[in-house]
Structure 1
């Protein structure tokens, strides 16, 4: 993987961390387990919990790429942690193979009656093919691939360098639609291939990123060279892609699936500890469907699907602190680990986010999101949040309906000032919103950004 630099502890800076190549952070070494296509068994989950407890500080994080991070591993215990994770079958011992295994699969297409097909076999073939192709080990860090089958757990909302979306053709056949540099609705289409050709097609497209020296991510390559080189890579494999975009659906609601095939368990900020993870496995085994084998599947919504588990699991999950109610306002809160867990973080981001929750009830009830970042790097930040806070020292700059790099609408200010400002924003949103479907971004588009900012400042002044 290009861009990696290891220190004397084997930790990597400047690349996407893993297990074989961990990353140094403020609370020790961070080990990232790659997205497990098809999920883990309860025994594997228990093994991960044991490693987090024995070799780390017990803190774990679910990520927006469907990965799981173990925090606080000590250099002296690193080898033991690595060996235990490889032995459990949840990690790759080869850092080069691990570094390119960035394939995110829709988590429950085998159980979802609304999915086009079960994409798990194709997703595994794509991931294994990329890992086995040594030429592709030069891909830029974080080059991401999505394999999606639509349905309730579809992941059309996830941005990827390369997407493979299962689609049904007019003649009834199944194909995978390859597109690059975007989400399901806006990625640039390349063509459609048969399922048995999907893994080869994916490698051919990714190989075109290596034509640049050094290789670049897809967005930069598209901007510089256009789509033609990537279409040419599929010349004899693909048929026309068609023009219908893949529709985006929201994440499935926490709780039991409508057809009872899984329980969707979310955690505030995607953070949990080893004891909670171990108990997830216990709950899955105790409440598995008769004759079934439960699996625990990581999602890009920083949550876990307990597949093959039913309604009886809700009570013990709630006792663990799991979010199982769709209206829980904590679902709208996001934050990086912040200080002291991250050396770059300057604020206690998650504590601050919980404080600010009370300032924006109308926004959170409408499904809007608040994200708090402890520095300007924006680790784990969404592409766009209704309210984005970026720490500057002990203060926060505030951006409405923007990403981590967007110009702030208000400069950095103390938390108390930000709290008051968000209360004013919430009041303006509740008063000015014309329909229940109108989002904050819609409001900004209708009234103008300056108009919304002015109304918030007037509300704050009169409060």
Structure 2
């Protein structure tokens, strides 16, 4: 192995563990709501969760116009289906707020409550998450408004159906069950959350209230995972007898035309990496309106659905979305990428994440077979993806490659900045050369492990 390569791709020494441990405990700050926009590398950022994640076409067009007038014209949809507007200034945040009010867009106060994107229009839903959200906000107004709750407290209400929210992790999950019952669980997604109560809506609301009271006692720095198990069982003495038949979460691509059980259609579209220019969005909304679409539903996985259009308009809508730069086909490589804003847009980032992601989609297509998500994180905060996966974290020295972990985890390799394309191409070639028939990229990486990957990266 050449000396240059040995210097460029080097194992992280043990002393770096202290740095990573500190990074893990750093708080990313409060959610950047209208009342508290977040400074970034390209100005102030505001995150919005419109009531129910639903907007009319004219409302979303108004937001796009406001983003262009008062920000830098960039909008984003997050992995949890929230909307972000970038490049604002202190003097324009109030103007954005006025535009939101004038458009009739309701942004509830307190923690964001994320509900199934097709609520109310999906005939397969087991319950009405919008009604449950209204009930929670009405009955639990005081605890939800407590300043002692963690700024990033997450509440998910999953009505089920074709596009439920089982993949979203949350502090508190409220999940519709058969026979008008609701399950309340904490700290996890549809498979990993711990059930604490099950019953009619009144039981679920009471259980959420109990959990909120425990979180208020714990204070701002704590989340549902920090609730003492003994205390939890004292509040929910029957939690251990709840028996559920959990099936593996099916991953249905958001992108594309989807026919619901009642014969109606919705069209899922994704801007590349969840980011779009206001001008492109406005042009798409104009075309969608002309083809009969009525509304937009923001959705997890960085996209949204068009609803209300006649079936015969679907082909024209698909063409319009593609024309304006939006993905409408499932399985596109960008679907398997989580990339933060990156250098230039974020003051913490060490590299331009999306530029590198585009290069690697071309140079290493084997990584994007859908078996894993490739996480491009500009720094160790890992804002774009909160699950273990193949991660490339930026640092002052270059890049940290983590085979199956979070952005702040101990890296398996350190890669010098100028060698990143070489390293990833080597990684891709190693997968192509070593995987068995029908073996996915994720399975091959798991089998190779850190030792096998290290050997591949160090070969000349």
TM interval, short-chain normalised: 0.7 to 0.9
Q: Does 1:336 align with 2:340?
A: yes
2:188 pairs, out of 179, 182, 188, with 182
Per the alignment, residue 258 of structure 2 pairs with: 257
Distance change in 2, residues 1:382/1:288 (3 Å): farther
The whole-number CA distance in structure 1 between the counterparts of 2:307 and 2:147 is 33
Deviation of 1:393 after TM superposition, in Å, equals: 2.6
Instruction: Name which structure has the greater RCO, CA cutoff 8 Å, separation 6+.
Output: 2
Contact kept, 8 Å, 1:101 with 1:131, in 2: the verdict is: no
3-state SS in 2 of match to 1:344: coil
Per the alignment, residue 150 of structure 1 pairs with: 160
Contact kept, 8 Å, 1:146 with 1:160, in 2: the verdict is: yes
Contact kept, 8 Å, 1:20 with 1:82, in 2: the verdict is: no
Per the alignment, residue 12 of structure 2 pairs with: none
Contact kept, 8 Å, 1:152 with 1:252, in 2: the verdict is: no
When structure 1 is superposed on structure 2, of 341-350 and 247-256 the one drifting more is: 247-256
Q: Does 1:419 align with 2:425?
A: no
Q: Does 1:103 align with 2:104?
A: no
Deviation of 1:261 after TM superposition, in Å, equals: 1.9
Deviations 1:419-443 (A, max 9, x none): 2222222223233333536451x33
Per the alignment, residue 450 of structure 2 pairs with: 449
3-state SS in 2 of match to 1:76: helix
* TM-score, normalised by the number of residues in structure 1: 0.84
Per the alignment, residue 201 of structure 1 pairs with: 207
Contact kept, 8 Å, 2:143 with 2:212, in 1: the verdict is: no
The whole-number CA distance in structure 2 between the counterparts of 1:29 and 1:60 is 12
Contact kept, 8 Å, 1:338 with 1:350, in 2: the verdict is: yes
Contact kept, 8 Å, 1:192 with 1:239, in 2: the verdict is: no
Task: Show the 5 A alignment for 1:57-136.
Answer: 57-92=72-107, 98=109, 100-127=110-137, 129-131=139-141, 133=143, 136=146
Contact kept, 8 Å, 1:35 with 1:103, in 2: the verdict is: no
Deviations 1:196-241 (A, max 9, x none): 44334322212211222555111122xxx11x433544569x9953
Deviation of 1:263 after TM superposition, in Å, equals: 0.4
Deviation of 1:141 after TM superposition, in Å, equals: 1.1
Deviation of 1:341 after TM superposition, in Å, equals: 1.4
Task: Show the 5 A alignment for 1:229-308.
Answer: 229-233=231-235, 241-245=242-246, 247-259=248-260, 260-288=264-292, 294-308=294-308
The whole-number CA distance in structure 2 between the counterparts of 1:275 and 1:264 is 19
* TM-score, normalised by the number of residues in structure 2: 0.85
The whole-number CA distance in structure 1 between the counterparts of 2:241 and 2:181 is 11
The whole-number CA distance in structure 2 between the counterparts of 1:286 and 1:48 is 19
The whole-number CA distance in structure 2 between the counterparts of 1:207 and 1:186 is 22
Deviation of 1:457 after TM superposition, in Å, equals: 2.8
Contact kept, 8 Å, 1:190 with 1:240, in 2: the verdict is: no
Per the alignment, residue 5 of structure 1 pairs with: none
Deviation of 1:253 after TM superposition, in Å, equals: 4.1
The whole-number CA distance in structure 1 between the counterparts of 2:132 and 2:339 is 33
Distance change in 2, residues 1:116/1:91 (3 Å): closer
Distance change in 2, residues 1:24/1:150 (3 Å): same
Q: How well do the aligned residues superpose, as a CA RMSD in angstroms?
A: 2.6
3-state SS in 2 of match to 1:265: strand
When structure 1 is superposed on structure 2, of 314-323 and 369-378 the one drifting more is: 369-378
Contact kept, 8 Å, 2:51 with 2:106, in 1: the verdict is: no
Per the alignment, residue 139 of structure 1 pairs with: 149
Distance change in 2, residues 1:117/1:214 (3 Å): closer
Contact kept, 8 Å, 1:33 with 1:91, in 2: the verdict is: no
Contact kept, 8 Å, 2:113 with 2:157, in 1: the verdict is: yes
Q: Does 1:397 align with 2:400?
A: yes
The whole-number CA distance in structure 2 between the counterparts of 1:295 and 1:198 is 30
The whole-number CA distance in structure 2 between the counterparts of 1:431 and 1:21 is 50
The whole-number CA distance in structure 2 between the counterparts of 1:208 and 1:450 is 44
The whole-number CA distance in structure 1 between the counterparts of 2:369 and 2:330 is 10
Deviation of 1:129 after TM superposition, in Å, equals: 4.7
Deviations 1:399-431 (A, max 9, x none): 11221122211113125x222222222223233
Deviations 1:273-300 (A, max 9, x none): 21223234323322236xxxx2211112
When structure 1 is superposed on structure 2, of 370-379 and 311-320 the one drifting more is: 370-379
Contact kept, 8 Å, 1:191 with 1:240, in 2: the verdict is: no
Moved over 6 A (4+): none
Deviations 1:32-91 (A, max 9, x none): 112541511112112211211111111111112221111111222222112221332335
Q: Unaligned stretches of 5+ in structure 1?
A: 1-12
Deviations 1:231-263 (A, max 9, x none): 544569x99532323641214341100345210
